[in-house]
Chains A and B, each alone.
Chain A
Amino acid sequence: MTRLPAIVLVCLIGAAVAAPRLAPYAPDQIDLSSRRSPPTAAHWFGTDELGRDVLARVLFGARISLAVGLLSAVVAGASGIAIGGVAGYAGGAADAVLMRFTDGVLSIPRLPLLMIAAVVLQPSVALLILLIGLVGWMETARVVRAEFGSLRGREFVESARASGAGHVRVLARHLLPNAARAVAVSLTLAVARGILIESALSFFGVGVRPPQASWGNMLYQAQASLGSEPWLALAPGVFIVMTTVAVNLAGDRLAAR
């Protein structure tokens, strides 16, 4: 049981990477003779209004969703470590200014902020990753600041400084490894949040744009025919929930260890 989240995640990432081999059809292959087909042996998850295979689109959508989740967490983590690290290590006025800025960004509701930014900028997937990362660093920054703040007065830091290590070296080689656990937990949360935010943005039509498939924009298209073709809304949603639950459970395990 305890390994289940990790197994699910490995399978999902494997399926996303191998999507071109696993998918029974191309994700954008239109087949007007089998439009709106419910799940059958030929189309396990059914087809959409253009006859595109839902399984293929879910598999290719996994690439987008997982890439956005993981890479936006990398952006968020790097910014959070930089900002929180400087605040915690430097202390004093730099700390006060940086943390006040963090509180400020934290009090702007994340999803509405991103929705406006997405409408204004019409982002590509790469820019979307950057945007989601840029509003996701605050939690990591707080965690890193707290850890660094309590570590910086310790003897091993003084000894490293005394033996001639520069500030950057102390931050990266001595403080960061000691805060690794807490940072990792906050990063798993950022991955799950990134996936949820991408799906919400795409669901509102301002994230990943069709015809490219993402779990969120598949649900956006499914919304129009919920009553007649419910399978269109089931598969992408189940995959989102499966992924975010697995990521969050993995984070929980990491925190409890």
Chain B
Amino acid sequence: MARFLARRLAHAVPLLFIVSALVFLLIHLAPGGPLAIYLSNPNVRPEDIERLRHALGLDRPLWNQYWSWLAAFVQGDWGYSFSDGRPVASRILERVPATLELVSASLGCALALTMPIGVWSAVRRGRWFDRLATLASMIGLSLPAFWFGLLLQMIFALALGWLPSSGRATPGTNAFGDHLQHLLMPAAVLAAVLASSWSRYLRGAMIEVIGQPFVLAAEARGVPEARVILRHALANALGPLVAIVTVDAALLVSGAVVTESVFAWPGLGSLFTEALARRDYSVLMALLMLSSAAVILFNVAADALHAAIDPRVTT
């Protein structure tokens, strides 16, 4: 296992270099570069821009700039926000709890939907429940998350008035129920999207396992159907599901951009769209870099977990 992990991590290092170079180039090759925001400001004179360019090291060769940016980034120095001058790291860290809360709630809800739907679709393959689940997941995967969010807001917040339309809590209150009401709609949007794809994976994996001789043998021995499905089949189908859930958990840093913005959920996704509106490149770059690194590292974790759960996976 240790050697397997080491090999996968060694595989991840060049990926991290490629990603960091692409992210860096995206900002620096743009017209105007990182100082673009000053170019359109009539109060900033051309000689000021030249001075800034020199002071910030933007006149050095590109590879040189990339190297010092990367070295600083790895050490946790992510620069300062252009919009309020605070360290990028602290702006990001203060948003982590909200995103963690939203993402863990949605992962939990999505799993609670995925398990029964995926298992039952596979067991009753081709019957009405399976067809309904297939159609529902197709719609879930084709639905723009932001429009689904708008629909929920229109129905449950504006028409019925049952739930608050946005935010994380009513200002001035700190009640658990109020918190939960705010969490419900954004978590439902993310959970619906995740469950749509996960239930397909679980269904596929279950169908594959159910077709194998050892499941037939268990049935022939007279093991009750529920036990065959849960202990024999599901246990063997969980590996791929765990892997895909882990990969999707990388969403912790980025994937909630749309949902968080629609519901004004004060997490990393909203930070991203706020930074986008203000052209706050240092925040954008750090978030894009962190979310890409999360995708890469969660992929390694997914392989490791899959191998740990399923002894048939060779390490």
Contact = CB atoms under 8 A, between A and B. Distances in A.
Interface of A: 100-101, 103-105, 107-109, 111-113, 115-117, 119-121, 192, 196, 199-200, 203-204, 206, 219, 222-223, 226-227, 230, 233, 237, 240-241, 244-245, 247-249, 252
Contacts of B151: 233, 237
Contact of B150 (A101, A116, A219, A241): A219
Given A100-B18, A116-B26, A116-B284, A109 B291 contact: yes
B29 to A, nearest CB: 9
6 contacts: A104-B19, A108-B295, A116-B26, A116-B284, A120-B30, A219-B150
Interface in B7-35: 14-15, 18-19, 22-23, 26-27, 30-31
B146 interface: yes
Contacts of A121: 30-31
A112 B291 contact: yes
B246 interface: no
Contacts of A192: 142
A119 B254 contact: no
Interface string B125-149: 0000000000000110111101100
A192 B144 CA distance: 11
B114 interface: no
Contacts of B146: 199-200, 203, 219
Task: Give the most central of A121, A199, A203, A222: most B CB within 10 Å.
Answer: A203
B119 interface: no
B79 interface: no
A108 B144 contact: no
A252 B158 contact: no
Nearest to A243: B142
A190 B193 CA distance: 18
Contacts of A199: 144, 146-147
A222 B146 CA distance: 12
B273 A204 contact: yes
A109 B292 contact: yes
Contact of B138 (A105, A223, A240, A249): A249
B312 to A, nearest CB: 22
Nearest to A242: B142
Nearest to A204: B273
Interface stretch (B92-100, B174-182, B221-229, B255-263): B255-263
Given A100-B14, A108-B23, A115-B276, A240 B288 contact: no
Contact of B22 (A105, A226, A248): A105
Contacts of B27: 116, 120
A52 B67 CA distance: 52
- 9 smallest A-B Cβ distances: which pairs? A104-B18, A244-B142, A120-B30, A237-B147, A109-B254, A107-B295, A227-B158, A245-B142, A108-B292
B195 interface: no
A108 B154 contact: no
Contacts of B257: 109, 111-112, 115
B188 interface: no
Interface residues of B, number: 42
Interface string B202-242: 00000000000000000000000000000000000000000
Contacts of B19: 104, 107-108
Contacts of B139: 241, 245
Contacts of B159: 230
B6 to A, nearest CB: 18
Contact of B288 (A109, A245, A252): A109
Contacts of A252: 138
B279 interface: yes
Interface string B280-315: 000010011001100110010000000000000000
Contacts of A227: 154, 158
B153 interface: yes
Nearest to A192: B142
Contacts of A223: 150
Given A219-B146, A226-B154, A112 B18 contact: no
Nearest to A216: B144
Given A204-B273, A241-B139, A248-B141, 4 more contacts: A116-B26, A237-B150, A244-B144, A247-B142
Nearest to A103: B15
Contact of B147 (A107, A120, A240, A247): A240
Contacts of B31: 120-121
B153 A108 contact: no
Nearest to B257: A112
A230 B291 contact: no
A233 B15 contact: no
Nearest to A237: B147
A222 B144 CA distance: 15
B288 A219 contact: no
Contacts of A248: 138, 141-142
Contacts of A233: 147, 150-151, 154
A111 B253 CA distance: 13
Contacts of A117: 26
B109 interface: no
